[in-house]
Structure 1
Amino acid sequence: MTAFDRLQRTHWAGQAEAYERCFVPLCAHPAAAMLDAARVRAGTRVLDVGTGPGTAAGLACARGARVVAVDAEFSMLRLARRRVPQAELCHAVLPDLPFPDDHFDAVVANFVLNHVGDPAVSVAELRRIVRPGGRIAATVWPSPRPPLQRLWEQVFDAAGARRPADEPAVPPERDFAHTVEGFGGLLRAASLTDVHCETVAWVHQTDPEDWWYGTASGIGRLGRLMAAQPPGVVEQIRQHYDRLSAVHLTDGGFLALPTAALLASGRAP
């Protein structure tokens, strides 16, 4: 386990309820397309890695698939069990999954490879447990960041927020370019064939208070940045958030900004 992995385990501990309020609708958007890319249908034996609140697992169950779902965070598993009682759920942490080789017809990972310290090793583990001819599909956030995520960068810059210089990160030699070419290359390096990667774009609408709540509660990299600020700077962040988000509000009072994800899939030879 790398320093980045340890940071992720600590950071996400107990965060399921905050995550459910602000990020579940956002991260759910590409889940159906991810299942399509993995050819998940009735009878498919599918593993949902990093299931979180069980969004992809629930969609797969609705298709009649035989679903196993795992997550590294116990609060997420408790939430997933309430939301998707028909799935088999257990605790597991990439890149060490407790399944034999060639065990599943399909493996999906919705916004999980953003949170591992060695993405190539993790994809190799997904490849290990999918049968020959089975499929893997995954999503990650792209780089550069879309407008929805850039809003927070603009807010922090306007408030003069201090960026911690010593936060663990994925080492450059283990990371991959979060582009169509880079993400597709990550799957090809794991010997997957028929690799396809595309950008899925949409306009996310959310209550501005919910979008504030997620970061203020410490969710994600920006949540950690918020938590590192003194109270006076947090007050400045709130003021700039209200000002900068106001121009993106709909007539109904929802925050509406474009965002996007990368969706990559491949077949095990």
Structure 2
Amino acid sequence: MTWDAESFDRFERAGWSGRSDAYRDGFGRLAARFVEPLLDAAGVGTGTRVLDVGCGPGTVSAAALRRGAEVTAVDASPEMAALASRTHPGLDVRTALLDELPFPDGQFTALVGNFVINHLGDPAAGLAEIRRVLAPGGRLALTCWEKEAMRALALFGESVAESGVPYPDGVPLSGPFLADSTAPDLPTAFYRLLADAGFASADVDTLRLLHRVDPDRWWSDVTTGTPLTGTVVSRLDPASLAAVRRTYDRKVAAHAVGDGFVALPAVALLGSATRPE
């Protein structure tokens, strides 16, 4: 199957269905650890008019509100938008696609997106829309998972490949942004994406941490709370699933730190830029 922007976006929206609570309680806990650097990079503080794109359960929005910002949030998944609304009463949450934002030009002085760009079928179109709704001088900050160094995620794709199980038909290997960039060049690709969209003072930093977690819990967190790996796993027959799980167990054991836990490297890129005056 050829994954153009439209078909990938359809896959993403369908893939999130039924996963919002699992994401919040599992994988979302790891993503939340990158929120403060994200807000710092966007200069979010008292009175900042912030748009949180791909808000998920609203973790970034809540942190921005605690800083005294005026926050609006959007997510392409109605289920995620509803979860953010329930979790954070009073938060202005809309259901909207990132490349079709329902806001006038220049409404926001900052825009943040925590691990959103890797879920877009057309990242350039998303950045063009971001630029439109940002006020001149407004700051943008986006995070994206690194590919190979992000062992907390790479373990799963590698476990499928090394188990000898055929990759399911009708499931993309990754989002277009990650698929089109090799690991050493990903920061450069991220920088160019921002610069080509017309942003100034673009910068890409690398953020690293260790995610300490029970390996059985982590298997559940990723396979129930993420659209791509969750879809892959859901399409495997029992024998294939068991083979993938055995490979995962072997690989994850290399990160054991005692007491039944593992410490998994989690590596993200933080891209920031300014809309020119």
The normalised TM-score by structure 2 is 0.89
Q: CA separation of 1:216/1:193 partners in 2, compared to 1, >3 Å: closer, same or farther?
A: closer
1:207 pairs with 2:211: no
Aligned mates of 1:170, 1:159 — CA distance in 2: 23
CA apart distance, 1:177? 6.0
CA apart distance, 1:216? 3.3
CA apart distance, 1:218? 6.5
Equivalent residues of 1:201, 1:258 under 8 A apart: yes
1:44 pairs with 2:51: no
Equivalent residues of 1:218, 1:226 under 8 A apart: no
CA apart distance, 1:80? 1.2
Aligned mates of 2:255, 2:47 — CA distance in 1: 43
2:269 is matched with which residue: 248, 257, 262? Answer: 262
- Match for residue 118 of structure 1? 122
SS in structure 1 at match of 2:231: helix
* CA RMSD between the two structures: 2.1
Equivalent residues of 2:151, 2:264 under 8 A apart: yes
CA apart distance, 1:220? 3.2
SS in structure 2 at match of 1:127: helix
Length, aligned pairs only: 268
Equivalent residues of 2:212, 2:261 under 8 A apart: yes
CA apart distance, 1:184? 1.0
Aligned mates of 1:140, 1:262 — CA distance in 2: 5
CA apart distance, 1:56? 0.7
Between structures 1 and 2, the one with greater helix share: 2
The within-5 A match list for 1:15-94 is: 15-94=19-98
Q: Which moved more, 1:179-188 or 1:209-218?
A: 209-218
- Give the fraction of aligned pairs with identical amino acids, expressed as a percent: 40
Equivalent residues of 1:21, 1:210 under 8 A apart: no
* Uncovered stretches (5+) of structure 2, i.e. residues with no partner: none
- Match for residue 193 of structure 2? 186
- Match for residue 166 of structure 2? 162
Aligned mates of 2:225, 2:238 — CA distance in 1: 14
The normalised TM-score by structure 1 is 0.92
Amino acid at match of 1:221: L
- Match for residue 250 of structure 2? 243
* Uncovered stretches (5+) of structure 1, i.e. residues with no partner: none
Q: Which moved more, 1:72-81 or 1:27-36?
A: 72-81
1:108 is matched with which residue: 107, 112, 119? Answer: 112
Amino acid at match of 1:264: G
Equivalent residues of 1:215, 1:226 under 8 A apart: no
